[in-house]
Chains A and B, each alone.
Chain A
Amino acid sequence: MDFILQPWPWYVSGPFISIILFLFFYFGKNFGVSTNLETMCTMAGAGKISDYFKKDWKERDWAIVFLVGLLIGGYIAINYLSATPGIDLNPTTVNELAELGFADAGKAYVPSEIYSIENMLTLKGFAILLVAGILIGFGTRYADGCTSGHAITGLSSFQLPSLIAVIGFFVGGLIMIWVLFPLIFG
């Protein structure tokens, strides 16, 4: 039981993720999470404004159930399966983040400098959250997939579009962390 309560090493987590992929395909579905954002737009009535969303979301009702599962899984993990909330980061990372203004790096899953309620209620804090979301939503639809659809499913089935997309993921991520972070948070 203690093993479950501790953070899982990568060589346990990675294989478990591929079992999730296996189950998706075994039950006749493709593994990909970002398409669900499109389904949620369709459910909210986006089809009235744009033909792009004129789809029958009921064909993807299983995916909405899966999303509810993610919420419950997160709730269970943080409340019942975590002995310590901290992340064991590289000390260099902790020091660098301190210089950027992120105190107590690794004390929780996410930094309070971005994810506290007080921060959400400031103009800059709110804008960061919203813009990050817009980039995720727009980028995944444009690229036709996210980490699950491209990096895991696409790469493991040797699809060239996924290799290009994952290179893009890294170009964007590196620009954000190395170039933009010091401008946004410094």
Chain B
Amino acid sequence: MKNLKFLVIGIVFGIILSKSEAVSWYRIYEMFKFQSFHMYGIIGSAVTISAVFMYFFKSGKIKDYLGNQINIKEKKKGFIRTLVGGTLFGLGWALAGACPAPVFVLIGHGILPMVIVLLGALLGTFIYGLLSKKLPH
């Protein structure tokens, strides 16, 4: 099964996010209160090491598993969409104490009410799809 590797990656990522406590509502609260270095350390070190990987991807020194050049998808440009969209997501991130990956990991923890957050996230995604052509970007 060709997708088996993504199952394994998902399992490992779920374990990392749990053991790092990045899935904890309290850690997100603490981060936005600037009362702990923990989350800044996680995100900062992840970005720093990823930047090294990105350098090797872009320069072609590391190819993908088929030997092809690795392309990093460009993010959609637009000041309004990124700032307003980002702010709305930030409100939800702080309230739920979870971003999309932790929502799934915490359902795996057996936290049933997180299913409501997931349904809300799907609803929010759907609303965006309906309105996308009318929104300023």
**Residues 32-82 of B at the A interface (beta carbon under 8 Å):** 32-33, 35-51, 53-54, 57-58, 62, 64-66, 68, 70, 72-79, 81-82
Contacts of A73 in B (CB 8 A): 10-18, 105, 108
**Residues of chain B with a CB closer than 8 A to A68's CB:** 7, 10
CB of B20 within 8 A of CB of A138, answer no
Give the interface residue-count category, chain B.
35 or more
A172 contacts B91, C-beta separation under 8 Å: yes
Contact B96 A136 (CB under 8 A): yes
Contact B53 A38 (CB under 8 A): no
Give the secondary structure class of A's interface.
Answer: helix
- Given A70-B105, A77-B15, A172-B94, do A109 and B25 touch, yes or no (CB 8 Å)? yes
Cβ–Cβ contact B72 & A138, under 8 A: no
Q: How far is it, in angstroms, between the C-alpha of A166 and the C-alpha of B75 when the chains are bound? A: 13
Q: Is there an interface contact between B41 and A170, defined as CB atoms closer than 8 Å?
A: no
Q: Scan A127-149; emit 1 where CB is below 8 A from any B CB, else 0.
A: 01111111111111111111111
Q: Give the residue of A72, A120, A142, A151 whose beta carbon is less than 8 angstroms from that of B116.
A: A120
A71-B104, A115-B114 in contact; A173/B24 too (CB < 8 A)? Answer: no
Q: A89: CB under 8 A from chain B?
A: yes
The minimal Cβ–Cβ distance linking B42 to chain A, given in whole angstroms, is 4
Q: How far is the CB of A106 from chain B (nearest CB, A)?
A: 5
| Contact present for B100 and A33 (CB under 8 Å) | yes
Interface residues on A, range: 35 or more
A76 to B19, CA, bound (A): 11
Residues of A within 8 A of B20 (CB): 7-8, 10, 12-14, 16-17
Complex: how many Å from CA A118 to CA B53?
46
Q: Is A87 an interface residue (CB 8 A)?
A: yes
Task: Determine if A65 and B94 form an interchain contact, defined as CB atoms under 8 angstroms apart.
Answer: no
Instruction: Write the chain B residue with the least CB distance to A161.
Output: B75
Within 8 Å CB of A81, what residues of B?
Answer: 15, 18-19
Measured in the bound complex, the distance between the Cα atoms of B77 and A164 in whole Å is 10
A87 to B19, CA, bound (A): 10
Q: Point out the residues of chain B lying under 8 angstroms from A16, CB to CB.
A: 16, 20
A98 within 8 A of B: no
Residue of A nearest to B41 (CB): A10
Interchain residue pairs with CB less than 8 A apart (25): A12-B20, A13-B16, A16-B20, A21-B46, A23-B5, A36-B100, A37-B122, A37-B125, A50-B126, A62-B2, A109-B106, A114-B25, A129-B96, A129-B116, A133-B103, A133-B124, A134-B92, A135-B88, A136-B98, A136-B120, A139-B90, A146-B101, A164-B86, A168-B88, A169-B87
Residues of A at the B interface (CB closer than 8 Å) are 4, 7-18, 20-28, 30, 33-34, 36-38, 40-41, 44, 46, 49-50, 52-53, 61-63, 65-78, 81-82, 87, 89-90, 92-93, 96-97, 105-106, 109-111, 114-117, 119-120, 125-126, 128-162, 164-178, 180, 184
With A75-B108, A76-B15, A87-B24 given, can you name 7 additional A-B contacts, CB distance below 8 Å? A23-B5, A26-B70, A65-B4, A70-B14, A152-B46, A152-B47, A155-B51
